[in-house]
Structure 1
Amino acid sequence: MKQHFRRFRARTLASVMALAFAASTWAVEPFTLGDIRVEGLQRVEPGTVFASLPFRVGEEYTDEKGTAAIRALFALGLFKDVRLEVAGNVLVVAVEERPTVANVDFVGAREFDKEALTKALREIGLAEGRPYDQALADRAEQELKRQYISRSLYGAEVVTTVTPIERNRVNLTFTVTEGETARIKDIRIVGNDAFSDATLLGLFEIDTGGFLSWYTKSDRYSRVKLNASLEALRSYYLQRGFLEFRIDSTQVAMSPDKQDITITVNVTEGDRFVVSGVTLEGNYLGKEDEFKSLVTIRPGEPYNADQVAATIKAMTDYFGNFGYAFAQVEARPEIDRASNRVQLSLVAEPSRRAYVRRINISGNVRTRDEVIRREFRQLESSWYDADRIRRSRDRVDRLGFFRDVNIETVEVPGAPDQVDLNVGVVEKPTGSLQLSAGFSSAEKLGLGFTVRQENAFGSGNYLSLDLNTSKYNRTLALTTIDPYFTQDGISRTLEAYYRRSRPYEDQGGNYSLATMGGAIRFGVPFSELDTVFFGAGVESTEIRPGTNIPAAYLAYAERFGYRSTALPLTLSWTRDDRDSALVPTSGRLQRLTGELAAAADARYWRGNYQVQQYFALGKQYTLAFNGELGWGQGLGDRPFPVFKNFYAGGLGSVRGFDQGTLGPRDVTGSSIGGPKKVVFNAELLTPFPGAGNDRTLRLYGFTDVGNVFGEDERPAFGDLRASAGVGLAWLSPLGPLRLAYAVPFKKEAGDRIQKIQFQIGTSF
């Protein structure tokens, strides 16, 4: 009430003053202006005043023009007082400027940093160097309170202190008493009989809190989260046959001390309906059988709104594949309340067929048009094809250059059979200079330096320089990728690298393997999901002797030399239809890689196949499988190079065993890996207790099976190692972190056990 009164008083006084000053000019007879003088200016330029006056020297002055002049000057917001005085044929404009804000400070603000609050006040017009008035200060107080309410700090109080200083300026200090965060004390659902409170409240993004609420903030009230939760509640009922379900009201009550919030949701469930049948009506272009195959609604099952929506969308999209951009499909239910059954009629109106006249691209300040256009499968002057447009949008989005990609279909005025596609993109920074550090139980401390540009000079080309170091592996690599080396979309990758490594097992030795080389690789897309890569390279590997070097390394070096040169040819295939690369819940990833070196010193072939499959078990749970097979063999009279061996054990392989220690050992007891590898993993991922449905923080249970075998060994089920355990997966600011506690339940004497393992940056 206090703030409203201040605004009313300020406006009233300004109006009264303006009318009073205007009244003083009414007694003046019209005359020709000989001169105009402005008095009282300190910071405002005289030109600003003259530009606002509705008259000039040599023009006639009247009472009406004087009133208009006063109003115009007050409207500038720069003056708190304006007077017009007449002396002969000279008009004197006397003004008193408003104070200017010299400094804005915040005391007691801990929830927000100063920059965030300063930006919020700047958006309402209060900032350093701008004119000050009390109404603006009142608005600033309300804006600051609004910011705190968004963080559930409903008891926050803001007091403004205005300190005048020299040269008609003021310092503003906002003293904030934040108070305690308001928490959700209780959520009640009234009117539910078919499902329990626990089941329905489990759908909500907000809750009454748990021991992880400090991280998830799920017990803080948010109108946006409440609306999302109510939609999830409505969807849950409509998926299970409650066709007439409705949310009658939602009350949010706050305790007098503004610390506790109670939410009450009143619902009416209605009856549960079963679908008795589905019929197609309208114009289906003579393709009724094809459209029927898109129907996911099953007679005899409860009515499911999601199935109805999915069917309508599939049909609308299918119409779009034939050029009908404006097709409409409507589901008309016929309800039989006596038997609680519903008959659905899907009525289609394809409207008219359309061509795509132009594809207009906007928002790409840095990225060249051609980089976006070459990803399009929908062409100009061709039939509108919804499937091609959808694939075009996905391909542009997968470039990784944009925060958002949106395609809007716009009718062409005067041409009912034509549309334009307006493609709007929001660019994001694609270059990075990163210094990073990581730690794992296997490789200890690792440091990294990366210079990367995914969209070099707006051309869509990739360029990177990576430098990584750890206790066991060090890498320096330069890579460049041209995704459109040819107009058909064949990519070209050039890389040069230097790697120094040794097996994970640390026995205090200082031997190492140093590999230096380069490669060229081409990628040929055979479909939207499948890409085949082939390439060639040259590399030189040096066995650097030292203490505790495995006997197998010495034996290979004595027979073939400490330095080996190879000319590997590579051929690989990748297919990826996962819904996410970081947190997948469905889909499959497959990789098949072959490497052949038939010339130079090292002669071998090596193949590796990996498949990952994800199944979504409802909204919260994911079942994941990973399988990997590796096989290598020497060519001619040469054995498989020991420095090309596979390794198993540890994170990303068979957890519970020390990293890289499974498989053959030489006479010194060192783990040397082998040319044959078998690994299988199964995981069940669940939300972390108290974290709600947060997919960035999850628990998982797992079972791992696998081993590595020597060149003369035959993989056998009885020789596989196995473990089981639980773990934590977290998308931390440093990268994906996985912590696992595993207990080997199938092991052999001499196996090195490590029950607790963790790593930042690992995948499966």
Structure 2
Amino acid sequence: MTIKRLVAAMLLASASNSVLAEESFTVQDIQVEGLQRVALGAALNNLPFNVGDTINEFNLSRSIRTLYAAGHFDDIKVFRDGNTIIYRLRERPTINAIEFDGNKDIKEEQLLESLSGNHVEVGEPLDKTILKSIENGLTEFYHGVGKYQADVKIDVTYLPRNRVNLKIKFEEGDAASVRQINIVGNKLFSDEELLKNIESKQDLPWWRFMSSDRYQKQTLKGDIEKINSYYLDRGYLRFNIDSEQVSVSPDKTSVYVTLNVNEGEKYNIKSVKFVGDLIGQDEFITQVLPLKEGQLYNGALVTYTEESIAKLLARFGYANSKVRTIPQINDDTKEVDLTISVDPGKRVYVRRINMQGNSSTRDEVLRRELRQMEGAWLSNDALELSKQRIQRLPYIENVEFETIPVAGEDDLIDIGFKVKEQPSGSFNAGISYGNYMGLSFQIGVQQENFFGTGNSAGISLNTNKYQKSISATYTDPYFTLDGVSLGGQVFYSDTDYSSASSNLEAYNQRRYGFGANIGYPINEYNRLNFGANYVVNKINLRDDYDQLRHFRAVLKDELNPDAAFHFTNYELSAGWVRSTLNRGLFPTAGNYLGANIKVTTPNSDLAFFKTSFEGRNYIPLSNDHSWSFLSKIELGYGNGYGSKNGYDYTLPFTENFYGGGQNIRGFESRIIGPHAIFRYADTVPGLPGDNMSNGYPNSPNNDSYQVSQRSIGGNATAVVTLELITPTPFLSDDYRNSVRTSLFIDAGNVWDTEFDMARYADLKQIQYAQQSRQAQPLLIDYSDPSLFRATAGVSLQWISPMGPLTFSLAKILKKQEGDLQENFSFNIGTTF
């Protein structure tokens, strides 16, 4: 077809177009050429006219702008052939791939997110006009973090079928260092005093390699605010930073910062008054108000006052309150009148609370921990407490919540809780290995969230080198709606401590029984627990060591002195727990206090009591809690009460405390504590013809003794742990709540308050075993609590699908006679 007349020519965004005649005409046909990806209908829909419409040059110009605005075309030309309009289009190429090269300071995920905001994505058309602005924006980002040598280029590679690949090349260069920070105009405070409070550091010496003097624009802005706050907190209400200059050295490796300040003078508070609605809490707010007439103006106190009032209003449902302080400054008297304006806004109510992420846990299990109720007004305190209580559950890894405004209602919101669950138990079937238990066979299930009910249930069968046991437990933490718990247990075990790996003196114990426990909540943080157990024991002593003389005396059968010991105890227990921990497993903030006492009733075969105390305090060292400091103390003491056959009851050796392994890492399990002492009577030869082939017993003062390599434990213990919890190297933040790395120091001791060192003062110690000729430990005073042990090391804990795992590597700092070290330990099922 012959083109009769050129209608229009124009330039728009790097495209040239033909100029059309100015007269009006009626469109008979519209033709579009050059379409590949864009459908014809989509292109025609963007035109401001149709066939049959009468148009002119203005309409054609407008159609070109409309087509460009659609974002699909790089070049647009329009021609007229009679009353037929012809558009010749060149589509924008489609982005086939995006590649990054050389970026270290910016992660690819961040780059892709930023490009997506500029509509630069794989599969989308490419607008080449924005590539330069992207380059400039990225370069400006690097300048903001002190990398003035950085350069960013975007290479476009054209492919068949109108496609392109984008490759963004980064040359980041080295960051400029802050060579000098000058403060001009300060007379009240020196440069050193002001600069020590800021984050930016200048011209650091080589030995401060742990610090950084890298320049960053955002850091400098924050430092300027800190200097400003420093003056405002000391009464200098008119302090001002008049100007700030940042100069870059010619080689772009150094930055010089100059701040010009005007310090002004101190101002005192003349009066404090309120305007607005204090929702009836005027008297309370006035009493707790930290701002007082006559005191020096303090900017931090003013901010604290505003936040405290807003927080108080939020407790009563006024979540959108506005609190601001209006100062009226008198420069003549150097005083300021403070007017605190309070606008509580509307009280906000909670319409609905939704739970997400709990695929295993029932909704009601989480909802019973809520302290923010549906239909009640919104309380920030109740909301935070609800989050904390849910997060303390051992089967919840993390909890977040958000408030969602209800459309069309300015006083209603919905709350969405999003939980992340974690393994809450383990199923054991097969073979496992632990350092002190050796090769073990287990089968059983322990579940802290039984079928999603929040109840704890377990049944297990275990066998290892020295123990066979079976037990079943069940606890319902919400036996009643107000949080009274009820649980029970049955158990049976047969233990043979003759294995050398147990580090205990040899005996065999068969034990079985059952019990029940009940718990009462006092408030949100305190709880009381009570329990009762019926326990039957049978013990065969294979080695009769000296410290068992009281135990033997009260249980010995005079008619059969070599028989096994049988005894039945009725045990009552009471405990108190206070917990403000932020999580059930791997907490990073808060504290835990727990005390427990167990005592046998007077009708039991043995009369004794046993007390224990544990305290843990977590202090977060970083805002994200990736660094935290743990201090822990464990105390224990037990003893008998009353007497029988002239012998005082003592704590049964089966109830003794032990050290080493899990509580004092770096020592073999259960090796710390008093060791067994075997006493041997001396003899004198008999007369010729006597039947006493072994001679006659000599005086007890001539006895000898030997100290065993095995521990028998003690009736008192004290262990202190200091632990620095650190981020786990090379591990994604997604697993931070299930893996924990820490540096620790353990120190403690286990001793026997009933041990009498003088009993062996005049006796001779046998230092070598008669058969093996191995050296035996020397006797030390097992009643001395100051004979502590200390270790330091690193620990890795992992809540794995098969249960909690602990790996520890420790070095002994202080040990005592008879202790055996274990530098590396591995345990399954450790309690965190």
Displacement of 1:668: 1.8
Aligned with 1:155 (options 149, 160, 177): 149
- Partner residue in 2 for 1:145: 139
Alignment deviations for residues 182-214 of structure 1 (CA, whole Å, 9 cap, x no partner): 223333334444444344333223324577987
Residue segments in structure 2 that go unaligned for 5+ positions in a row = 1-9, 427-434, 439-444, 553-560, 677-706, 726-739, 757-780
- Partner residue in 1 for 2:575: 572
Any conservation in 2 of the 1:650–1:757 contact (CA below 8 Å)?
no
Q: 1:84 to 1:603 in 2, by over 3 A?
A: farther
- Partner residue in 2 for 1:709: 751
Q: Secondary structure at the match of 2:524?
A: coil
Q: Are 1:721 and 2:787 matched, yes or no?
A: yes
Q: 1:76 to 1:622 in 2, by over 3 A?
A: closer
Aligned with 1:128 (options 117, 122, 127): 122
Alignment deviations for residues 339-367 of structure 1 (CA, whole Å, 9 cap, x no partner): 86x57667686879x76544344684768
Question: Which moves more between the two structures, 265-274 or 594-603?
Answer: 594-603
Aligned with 1:647 (options 643, 647, 658): 658
- Partner residue in 2 for 1:589: 592
Looking at structure 2, the residues matched to 376 and 606 of structure 1 have their Cα atoms a distance apart, in angstroms, of 36
Q: Are 1:359 and 2:359 matched, yes or no?
A: no
Any conservation in 2 of the 1:541–1:563 contact (CA below 8 Å)?
yes
Looking at structure 2, the residues matched to 753 and 626 of structure 1 have their Cα atoms a distance apart, in angstroms, of 24
- Partner residue in 2 for 1:669: 709
Looking at structure 2, the residues matched to 182 and 380 of structure 1 have their Cα atoms a distance apart, in angstroms, of 54
- Partner residue in 1 for 2:415: 423
Q: Secondary structure at the match of 1:207?
A: coil
**Letter of the 2:635 counterpart:** L
Any conservation in 2 of the 1:430–1:454 contact (CA below 8 Å)?
no
Any conservation in 1 of the 2:636–2:716 contact (CA below 8 Å)?
yes
Q: Are 1:525 and 2:521 matched, yes or no?
A: yes
Q: Secondary structure at the match of 2:124?
A: coil
Any conservation in 1 of the 2:538–2:567 contact (CA below 8 Å)?
yes
Q: 1:220 to 1:410 in 2, by over 3 A?
A: farther
Q: Secondary structure at the match of 1:102?
A: strand
Any conservation in 1 of the 2:352–2:374 contact (CA below 8 Å)?
no
Any conservation in 2 of the 1:106–1:175 contact (CA below 8 Å)?
yes
Q: Secondary structure at the match of 1:126?
A: coil
Q: Are 1:269 and 2:263 matched, yes or no?
A: yes
Q: 1:574 to 1:117 in 2, by over 3 A?
A: same
- Partner residue in 1 for 2:12: 14
Looking at structure 1, the residues matched to 325 and 710 of structure 2 have their Cα atoms a distance apart, in angstroms, of 69
Q: 1:306 to 1:476 in 2, by over 3 A?
A: farther
- Partner residue in 2 for 1:630: 636
Looking at structure 1, the residues matched to 489 and 300 of structure 2 have their Cα atoms a distance apart, in angstroms, of 48
Matches within 5 A, 1:288-437: 290-297=284-291, 302-315=296-309, 317-318=311-312, 357-361=349-353, 364=356, 374-379=368-373, 388=382, 391-392=385-386, 395=389, 404-406=400-402, 419-423=411-415, 425=417, 427=418, 429-431=420-422
Looking at structure 2, the residues matched to 605 and 48 of structure 1 have their Cα atoms a distance apart, in angstroms, of 87
Alignment deviations for residues 31-81 of structure 1 (CA, whole Å, 9 cap, x no partner): 444xx5443222333332233334556x43633554444333222222223
Any conservation in 1 of the 2:95–2:166 contact (CA below 8 Å)?
yes
Displacement of 1:720: 1.8
Looking at structure 1, the residues matched to 114 and 425 of structure 2 have their Cα atoms a distance apart, in angstroms, of 31
Q: Secondary structure at the match of 1:266?
A: strand
**Letter of the 1:675 counterpart:** N
Q: 1:80 to 1:456 in 2, by over 3 A?
A: farther
Normalization by structure 2: what TM-score? 0.63
Any conservation in 1 of the 2:437–2:502 contact (CA below 8 Å)?
no
Alignment deviations for residues 623-650 of structure 1 (CA, whole Å, 9 cap, x no partner): 9975432124579999756565433469
RMSD: 6.6
Aligned with 1:750 (options 817, 823, 826): 817
Q: Secondary structure at the match of 1:646?
A: coil
- Partner residue in 2 for 1:228: 222
Aligned with 2:201 (options 207, 211, 231): 207
Looking at structure 2, the residues matched to 119 and 243 of structure 1 have their Cα atoms a distance apart, in angstroms, of 43
Any conservation in 1 of the 2:181–2:257 contact (CA below 8 Å)?
yes
Q: 1:118 to 1:270 in 2, by over 3 A?
A: same
**Letter of the 1:14 counterpart:** L
Higher alpha-carbon Rg: 2
Q: 1:424 to 1:182 in 2, by over 3 A?
A: farther
Looking at structure 1, the residues matched to 236 and 186 of structure 2 have their Cα atoms a distance apart, in angstroms, of 12
Looking at structure 1, the residues matched to 491 and 187 of structure 2 have their Cα atoms a distance apart, in angstroms, of 65
Any conservation in 1 of the 2:752–2:783 contact (CA below 8 Å)?
no
Looking at structure 2, the residues matched to 563 and 28 of structure 1 have their Cα atoms a distance apart, in angstroms, of 117
Q: 1:200 to 1:322 in 2, by over 3 A?
A: same
**Letter of the 2:53 counterpart:** E
Q: Secondary structure at the match of 1:225?
A: helix
Q: 1:206 to 1:26 in 2, by over 3 A?
A: same
Normalization by structure 1: what TM-score? 0.67
Q: 1:89 to 1:672 in 2, by over 3 A?
A: farther
Q: Secondary structure at the match of 2:12?
A: helix
Q: 1:398 to 1:335 in 2, by over 3 A?
A: farther
Displacement of 1:540: 12
Q: Are 1:60 and 2:53 matched, yes or no?
A: yes
Q: Secondary structure at the match of 2:246?
A: strand
Aligned with 2:615 (options 589, 611, 614): 611
Q: 1:360 to 1:401 in 2, by over 3 A?
A: farther
Q: Are 1:252 and 2:246 matched, yes or no?
A: yes
Q: Secondary structure at the match of 1:139?
A: helix
Q: Are 1:177 and 2:171 matched, yes or no?
A: yes
Displacement of 1:299: 7.0
Any conservation in 2 of the 1:551–1:668 contact (CA below 8 Å)?
no
**Number of paired residues?**
708
Displacement of 1:268: 3.3
Any conservation in 2 of the 1:550–1:672 contact (CA below 8 Å)?
no
Looking at structure 2, the residues matched to 385 and 252 of structure 1 have their Cα atoms a distance apart, in angstroms, of 46
Q: 1:294 to 1:138 in 2, by over 3 A?
A: same
Q: Secondary structure at the match of 2:709?
A: coil
Looking at structure 2, the residues matched to 87 and 539 of structure 1 have their Cα atoms a distance apart, in angstroms, of 106
What percent identity do the matched residue pairs reach?
Answer: 28
Looking at structure 1, the residues matched to 224 and 496 of structure 2 have their Cα atoms a distance apart, in angstroms, of 55
Looking at structure 1, the residues matched to 277 and 23 of structure 2 have their Cα atoms a distance apart, in angstroms, of 79
Question: Which moves more between the two structures, 118-127 or 567-576?
Answer: 567-576
Looking at structure 1, the residues matched to 491 and 175 of structure 2 have their Cα atoms a distance apart, in angstroms, of 53
Q: 1:201 to 1:709 in 2, by over 3 A?
A: same
